Amino acid sequence: MPSPDKKKPKLISGTGNPALTERIAEYCNLNIVQTEERHFSDGEFYIRINEDVRGSDVFIIQPTCQPGEKNLMELLITIDALKRGSAGRITAVIPYYGYARQDRKTASRTPITAKLVANLITTAGADRVLTMDLHAKQIQGFFDIPIDDMFARPVFIADLKDRYPEDDFIIVSPDVGGVVRARSLAKYIDANLAIIDKRRPGPNQAQVMNVIGDVTGKNCVLVDDMTDTAGTLCKAADALMEKGAKSVTAYCSHGLLTGDAKDKIMQSALENLTITDSIAPSDSILSCPKIRVISIAPLLGDAILRIHNEQSVSSLFDYGDDGTPGGRVQLINT
């Protein structure tokens, strides 16, 4: 007879975002499996699982954000340790899937790294993947194992309804590539849609060309899957204000915020930027008055419990006007 503990899902935290794992564990009323982690003098990563996982349903929570190579290798090594420990099922919970922007060949002799990462995770021994807001939806097809691509949309909608109870806002896509994402959110809250038409002259450079849609006197809400250098969002905010917008705020699932992104945001027309804790925010980001962080722990926690209990994950997004069940919001900084 299996012990009662075997019937519960087991959570393992990588070093990429332990605070998120703790929030998920608290939400799900689960303990985090104890592990022993260290690095050899040459930088090699070592992990030992200090609890019995034989036959257990195990969830490893590890985003592959910066430093991407370190966090990815740690995920792969942990999967291998669990596989060799006879875990019953291994789910890689990757709140932010790194290398997702390399989803196709953009020139001769270039890699499709998003596919390579999918192969590595599968070969290491993962049985399924749980992630959120993939940069390119076709990455789901790179995996030969089940993958659940969650949406931050429920927590964004709940937060929007709380902040703009009069619904006097318009959803804006910062580029043509994000129109489907922005339209989906606008549909669920019955809001109008505008689009920023931009031309990118070089990597991490964005030049706004035009605003498609009437934003005059509106609270504009920019929606994107990630913000890296924040150049696109800041230029889009400036363009919207020039077109007569009342205010501009932004929601992004993944706040990479590299380089001088924080300074750009502070100097921009953006009223504020709301990101999730899919990537652990630094103290500098948490202290920024223009950046808000809301937690996706309830969303991922519900998904983990549903996967463990063999229930539908997609039903998390069949919610009512209040944004529930997936829309429970936890504000990290105030």
Question: What is the mean pLDDT for each group of 10 consecutive residues in the chain (334 residues)?
Answer: 70 97 97 94 94 97 94 98 97 97 93 97 98 94 96 90 79 90 89 85 65 92 95 92 94 95 95 96 94 95 96 77 52 60
Strands in 10-13's sheet, in edge-to-edge order, are 10-13, 57-61, 89-94, 128-132, 147-150
Can 198 be counted among the known catalytic residues? yes
Classify residue 290 by its DSSP letter.
T
Spatial neighbors of 294 by CB under 8 A, at least 6 apart, are 155, 159, 274, 275, 276, 277, 329, 330, 331, 332
Strand partners, 331: 294
* The pLDDT value given to residue 177: 84
What is the rounded end-to-end Cα distance, in angstroms, of the chain?
48
Which one of 198, 235, 262, 264 is the catalytic residue?
198
Q: How far is CA 190 from CA 186, 187, 238, in A?
A: 6, 5, 25
In Å, the largest CA–CA distance within the chain is: 68
Cα(100)–Cα(160) distance, integer angstroms: 27
Strand partners, 223: 251
Spatial neighbors of 20 by CB under 8 A, at least 6 apart, are 61, 95, 277, 278, 280, 295, 296, 297, 300
Cα(149)–Cα(233) distance, integer angstroms: 24
* The pLDDT value given to residue 237: 94
Which pTM value belongs to this model? 0.91
pLDDT tens digits, one per residue of 82-125: 999 999 999 999 999 999 999 999 899 999 999 999 999 999 99
